[in-house]
A = this chain, B = another copy of it.
Amino acid sequence: MQSSTPKPITTLDELANRFGGQVVGDGATPLTGINTLEKAGLGEISFLSNSKYKKFLATTNASALIVGMSDKEATSLPRIVTPNPYLYFAHVTAFFHPAEIPKPGIHPSAVVEPGATVAASASVGPFAYIAEGAVIGERCIIGSHVSVGSRVIVADEVLLYPRVVIYADCEIGNRVILHAGVVIGADGFGLAQDQGRWVKIPQVGRVVIGDDVEIGANTTVDRGALDDTVIEEGVKLDNQIQVGHNVRIGAHTAIAGCVGIAGSAVIGSRCTIGGSAGILGHLEICDNAHVSAFTLITKSIKKPGQYTSQLPVMTHEEWLKSASQLRHLDKLAEKIRSLQQQLHDIRLLSKP
């Protein structure tokens, strides 16, 4: 959430005392905030972590910088040199923008059913609904219009943004953040065929979400059919992702927006999956695999590394020409085989 308190004043030295790194230049430089290289003004610190933005070093109006080891001499501004300037930027941004913490207590418009338990240190927003048997842990922040189903367990320091829905019986770990519109525990897509009609398979598993998971706006995680859907600790999911029933996502894996993961897929730890990628069901992806954006995984991945299936973009005119070949690649290959055979025959003929 956003800060509305006045910005604290600090200095480069004080930041380095707090977060480490080597100060080069005037450590007493006063600082009131953090901003991008392009937008920073007097009193603001900025950072360089993506070399695409190095061109702005010469013209930035920032009063100080956070830079990596290799950029130590790339500026004459007062600076903090650190092995991981992007991480340092995260810490300094959090320092200048402390989260707004609502006061504990239950808004008078909220409905907490008898038999639900809400910690006294938690806050529950307007029009939130906590069903019977649900447990809300210490220092949780439950936003407006949130719906927490029966017997759901929400651990400590969880942040549910407005309009999150958690279906019955699911479990949410400590320090989890769920953004607006997230749906946890809706029924998986389980259907049996009966003479041309679909028969629904009751989805009686749960969703279990580990500690320190963050899930982006309007992402959906379906409950398991019999067994649970599991999101392990430290997983980060972006917006608009669909996680099917009985999927397991390993610890510290990060998945970008609009990805679809079909039922019973098992994804390893410390993987990254690019935007709009797809993962078919009933397969396994090993730890430390990296899937490019727009890539469909159709079979298990057993070796760490990066995997890709993107069709390169072209002007539409170029594409029309290539596309006509794409439809007939097998015929192209056949022509090549025929040419090889003909050449072979000619060589035989022309031998003395």
A161 — which chain B residues lie within 8 A by C-beta?
165, 167, 186
Query: Residue A34 at the B interface, CB < 8 A?
Result: yes
Q: Assess the A282–B218 pair: CB atoms within 8 A.
A: no
Contacts of A58 in B (CB 8 A): none
Q: How many copies make up the complex? A: 3
Contact B292 A316 (CB under 8 A): yes
A294 contacts which chain B residues (CB < 8 A)?
A: 278, 296
Inter-subunit contact A240/B240 (CB<8 Å): yes
Contact with B along A245-262 (1 / 0, CB 8 A): 000000010101110101
* Nearest CB on B from A327, distance (A): 5
The answer to whether B308 touches A181 (Cβ under 8 A) is: no
- Determine if A145 and B147 form an interchain contact, defined as CB atoms under 8 angstroms apart: yes
* CB-based nearest B residue for A52: B282
Q: Is A214 an interface residue (CB 8 A)?
A: yes
Cβ of A111 under 8 Å from chain B: yes
State whether the Cβ of A350 lies closer than 8 Å to any Cβ in chain B: yes
A61 CB → nearest B CB, Å: 14
B216 & A220 in contact (Cβ 8 Å cutoff):
yes
Quick check: A260 and B236 within 8 Å, CB to CB? Answer: no
Count of chain A residues with Cβ under 8 Å from any Cβ of B? 139
**Residues of chain B within 8 A of A93, CB atoms compared:** 201-202, 204, 225-226
A198–B311 touching, CB < 8 Å:
no
- Of A2, A204, A276, A298, most B-chain CB atoms within 10 Å: A2
A14 to B238, CA, bound (A): 47
Instruction: State which of B91, B212, B336 has its C-beta within 8 Å of the C-beta of A332.
Output: B336
A217 within 8 A of B: yes
- Contact of A157 with B by CB under 8 A: no
Cβ of B293 and Cβ of A296 under 8 Å apart? yes
Interface flag for A101 (CB, 8 Å)? no
- Nearest Cβ in chain B — how far from A253, in angstroms? 9
State the 4 A-B residue pairs at the shortest beta-carbon distance, nearest first. Answer: A321-B330, A306-B316, A325-B329, A186-B217
Q: Write 20 A-B pairs (CB below 8 A) sorted by A numbering.
A: A90-B202, A93-B202, A94-B202, A144-B147, A161-B186, A165-B181, A165-B217, A181-B220, A186-B216, A189-B257, A198-B252, A240-B240, A244-B257, A308-B316, A310-B311, A310-B323, A314-B327, A324-B330, A332-B333, A339-B339
